[in-house]
Structure 1
Amino acid sequence: MYCVQEIAPAIVWVGGSDKRLERFENMFPLPKGIAYNSYLILDEQTALMDTVDSAITAQFLENVEHVLQGRALDYLVVNHMEPDHCANIEELLKRYPDLKIVGNKKTFQFMEQFYTFSKPENYYIVNEGDELSLGTRTLRFYLTPFVHWPEVMFTYETTDKILFSADAFGCFGSLSGNIFCDQTDFEGVFLEETRRYYANIVGKYGPQVQKVLSKLAQLEINMICPLHGPVWRENLSYILGKYNLWSSYQPEKQGVVLAYASMYGNTENVMNMLASKLSSKGVQDIRMYDVSKTHSSYIISDAWKFSHLIFGSPTYNMSLYHGMQALLHEMAALNLQSRKVSLVGNYTWANASIKEMTEIIGDMRKIEFIGEPLEIKSAMKQEQIPQLDQLVEDIYASISTSVSAAQPSLAKHNAM
C-alpha cells in the first residue's frame, strides 16, 4: 500500500526507507538503515523531484501512482544522477512515455553511461538560473557541481520557497513516520549520522559547499528537502550553520579523538594512559577508537567534530599498521584539515610508524603537530612516564588556549 505525506499544499513526499540495508555504497555501516526521498508537485503540470533506489521501487511507484490519481507525470527533475536516486527513470518512462526529464548536460551524459536507454526527445536541458513554470508554481535551477558529484543541481520552488537540495543536508538513517526534523529528537537521533554522512560523502568538497552556501544566502528559504533523511522546515539556520562549520573545516568542539592500532595491547595501554591523564586535567568528551574494531567513517565523523586528534600505531612489516594507514589515507583523501595532531608510535626492531604517520598527516592542509611524538619500544616503561606527561601537558595547553567555534543552536527558530 501507498505511504505518502504532504509537506506543503500540493507537494507530497513519495519516498521510502530501507531499514534492511547493511552498507551505504557497500562501504558505510547503516545500523539504522537509510531513507530515499522523492517529492511530487501537483500543479497545472506535475513534477517529480528525483526517484529512489531500486530496493524500494515497488513502494515508490505505488506512492507516485496514488498521488497522481490517474494524471500524467509531466516532468521528472533529476537533481542527482547517483543510482540510489535515479534507479527508476526508465520505469517511469515506460509508464509515462511523454515524460520530460529535466537536467543539465552532465546529467544526461551520466544517464546514458549508467543505463541502456537513450531518449533525447524527452530531455529538457537547463542551465544556471533557468526557470520552469508548472502553472502557479515555478521551479528555478541552480548548478551545484561537486556537492558532491559534478552534475548535481538544486531546484528552488519559488512560491513556497522550498529548496530541493539533492544529497546536501542529508544523513544516514531511515525515517520512522516523522519526516520533518522538528518532529524528531534531531540531536539525539540524526545529528551524529548527519555529520558522518557529510564528512564521508561530501567532506572532500568543502570549497564547493562554501560556494553553494554563498549562493543560498541570496535566497529566502522556508524548507530544505534533501534526498536522504528528514526535511527541514524550522531552524534552517542550525543545519546551514553546521554545513558552514564542516565545509570550512572548523571543529565544532574543543576536545580529543584518540585513534589507535594495537596488536597485543601495548599501544592501546599508552593511549588509555593518555586519555586518563587528559581526563584528570579536565578534558571532557574524549573519544577513543580501535581502528581494527571501528569503521573508519565513525572515526572520521568525530575528527570533523573535534579540534585535537591523537594517533597511535605500531610498526607492522616495516611499515605502518594497515588499519591506521587506511584511516589516515582516507582522511587525507577527504581533505580534512585545520586540526591539531599528536602521535604515538610503537616498534620492536624497525621504527616506521611515526615516520609514515608524519608524512601522511604532514601533507594535509593546516595541520599543527602538538608535542614531541612519543615512541615506545614494544611496551611502555616507567622511565618514559615523564615524556608521556609532557605530551599530556602540551595537548592540554593547546586545548586550553584554543577558541571554540560558535555553535548553531536548535533552540533558535530562525528561517532564512
Structure 2
Amino acid sequence: MNLAREIKKDIYWIGVNDRRTHIFENYWPLPKGVAYNSYIIVDEKVVVIDTIERSKMDDYVENIEQLLNGRKVDYLVINHMEPDHTGAIKALLCHYPDVKIIGNAKTFPMLKNFYGVCENLMEVKEGDSLDLGKHKLNFYMAPMLHWPETMVTFESTEGILFSGDIFGAFGTLDGGIFDDEVDLDYLEEEISRYYSNIVGKYGQPAQTALKKLGGLPIKMVCATHGPIRRSHIADIVAKYDKWSKYDTDKGVVIVFSSMYGNTEKMADIIARFLAEKGIKKIRIHDASKTHPSYIINDIFRYKGVILGSCAYNGNAFPTMETLLFELEHMGVKNHVVAFFGGKAWAGGAMPRFNQFAEKIKWEVVAPSCEACGCPKDEDFETCRNIAYAMADKLDEIC
C-alpha cells in the first residue's frame, strides 16, 4: 500500500514515521518518536522537496516509484542539508540519476562533503523562482535557522511554505498528518521542546525569517518534522515570535543536583517559600534524572531560574555542569537567576555559578546560599530570602 497522501491537488506528503530511534541526533530523547516529512509535486515537471533519514529510505523510494508510475523525478530541492533530511539522496539518485539538485551556494559544499555529490546542481538565490507547469516555486534564504545553508521554498499557486526544520516538532504522525487531524495538546511539549533545543539558540535568525516570510500569502506550512499546519498557522507563528524574543511567563524553574538529599531539601524549601509568595508556576527538576532538553524547555517558558548543586571534586556536580554548559552554549537570554548548594568542607559550585551568571548575562536577584553539610536553620532562612527576592523580582518585571 502506498502511504503517500495528497495535501493539495498534485502535491503529496511522502514522509515516514520513526518509532525505533530512542535518541534524536544521539542526544535528544524521543519518547513520542519523530516524523521525517518529505514532499513531492507532480506537474509538467516533478519535484521532490527534501528527503528523509536513511533508515527508512527503501520504503520511501518505493512510495515515490508507486506514486509516479514510471515518470521520472526532474528536481530535488534541498532546503536543509542535515542528514535526517538528506539521508535518502543517494538512493534517490540511484533510481533517478538525471535529477537536478536545487540548493544555494552554501548547500553544495555540504552536499559534496556528506555524499560526494557534485553534479547536476542548480543554484538558487534569494527570490529566485522555478516554474513546474501549474505550480511555481520561490526560494528564500533563512541562514542559521539553524544551519548556514538553510532556505525555505514557497509554492505560490496554493500558498504552501515548505519550511524545512522551521515550525517543526518531535513526535510521530499517528494517522493524521494535518494539525487539525492530530491532538496538538498531546504534542505541545514536543513542539516547544523541539524549538527550545534545536532552534532555540538562533532567536535573531528566527526573528529575521519571520519578518521576511510575514508578507507571503501562506495557507499551509509543511515542515520536515511534525504536523502540517493548515488550521493553526497563526498559532505556531505567534509561538515562534514569542520564543525567539525570549519572552517568558511568570514562573520559576528550580534545578538541583544532589548526592545525599541535602541540596534537594533546599530546593523544596525554596519552592515552599515561592508558593507562599504567590508563585504558582514552579517546576523542580533533578538534573541527574531529567534530560537537559526538558529542563531547557521549561527555562524557555519561565522567567525565573534557581540553580543548586552539591560539591563534587571541588566543583559543581557533573549533571549541573552539563546543564550550565548547554545554557551557555545556547545563549538563552532574558532571565533572572539565583543559586544555592552545599559542600562538606571546601570547594563547591558557587565559583562556577558566578562564572555562569557573568557569561550568560542573567541578573542575579539574591545572594547565594551554600550550606556546609546538612542545611541548618540559618541556611533555610537564606533559602527563604532567595525565594522572596525572586518572587518580588518577578512581580516587578512580569
Q: Is the structural similarity TM-score above 0.5?
A: yes
Distance 1:346 1:105 in 2: 53
Distance 1:226 1:196 in 2: 16
8 Å Cα contact 2:274-2:391 kept in structure 1: yes
C-alpha deviation, 1:35, in angstroms:
0.3
Residues 1:211 and 2:217 aligned together = no
Distance 1:95 1:126 in 2: 24
Residues 1:398 and 2:390 aligned together = no
C-alpha deviation, 1:315, in angstroms:
1.8
> Pick from 140, 153, 165: which aligns with 1:155?
153
Distance 2:220 2:346 in 1: 57
Residues 13-34 of structure 1 deviation map (CA, whole Å, 9 limit, x = unaligned): 0001011111000001101111
Distance 2:331 2:176 in 1: 34
8 Å Cα contact 1:328-1:361 kept in structure 2: no
> Pick from 329, 333, 336: which aligns with 2:329?
333
Please report the TM-score for the alignment, with normalisation by the length of structure 2. 0.97
Residues 274-298 of structure 1 deviation map (CA, whole Å, 9 limit, x = unaligned): 1122223332231111111111111
Distance 1:13 1:283 in 2: 45
Which residue of the partner structure matches residue 11 of structure 2?
A: 11
Deviates more, 1:266-275 or 1:188-197: 188-197
SS of the residue corresponding to residue 243 of structure 2 reads: helix
Amino acid at match of 1:204: K
Distance 1:357 1:290 in 2: 17
Alignment of 1:2-81 (within 5 A): 2-81=2-81
Residues 325-384 of structure 1 deviation map (CA, whole Å, 9 limit, x = unaligned): 11011111011010011110211211331121121122114x111121111111111233
Residues 228-264 of structure 1 deviation map (CA, whole Å, 9 limit, x = unaligned): 011110121111111111111111x211111100010
8 Å Cα contact 1:199-1:334 kept in structure 2: no
C-alpha deviation, 1:390, in angstroms:
1.8
Distance 1:261 1:206 in 2: 29
Please report the TM-score for the alignment, with normalisation by the length of structure 1. 0.93
C-alpha deviation, 1:159, in angstroms:
0.7
> Pick from 375, 378, 396: which aligns with 1:380?
375
Distance 1:235 1:21 in 2: 28
Distance 2:260 2:381 in 1: 24
Which residue of the partner structure matches residue 289 of structure 1?
A: 285
Which residue of the partner structure matches residue 274 of structure 2?
A: 278
Query: Percent of aligned pairs with the same residue?
Result: 42
Distance 2:393 2:79 in 1: 43
Which residue of the partner structure matches residue 406 of structure 1?
A: none
Gaps of 5+ in 1: 404-416
C-alpha deviation, 1:66, in angstroms:
2.0
Number of corresponding residues: 398
Which residue of the partner structure matches residue 186 of structure 2?
A: 189
Which residue of the partner structure matches residue 412 of structure 1?
A: none
> Pick from 231, 234, 238: which aligns with 1:234?
231
Residues 153-205 of structure 1 deviation map (CA, whole Å, 9 limit, x = unaligned): 1000011111000101101111101111122221x222211111111111111
8 Å Cα contact 2:57-2:91 kept in structure 1: no
Amino acid at match of 2:44: E
Which residue of the partner structure matches residue 262 of structure 1?
A: 258
8 Å Cα contact 1:139-1:155 kept in structure 2: yes
8 Å Cα contact 1:261-1:290 kept in structure 2: yes
Residues 1:130 and 2:125 aligned together = no
Amino acid at match of 2:350: I
SS of the residue corresponding to residue 155 of structure 1 reads: strand
Distance 1:149 1:81 in 2: 8
Which residue of the partner structure matches residue 320 of structure 1?
A: 316
What is the alpha-carbon root mean square deviation over aligned residues?
1.2
C-alpha deviation, 1:77, in angstroms:
0.5
Gaps of 5+ in 2: none
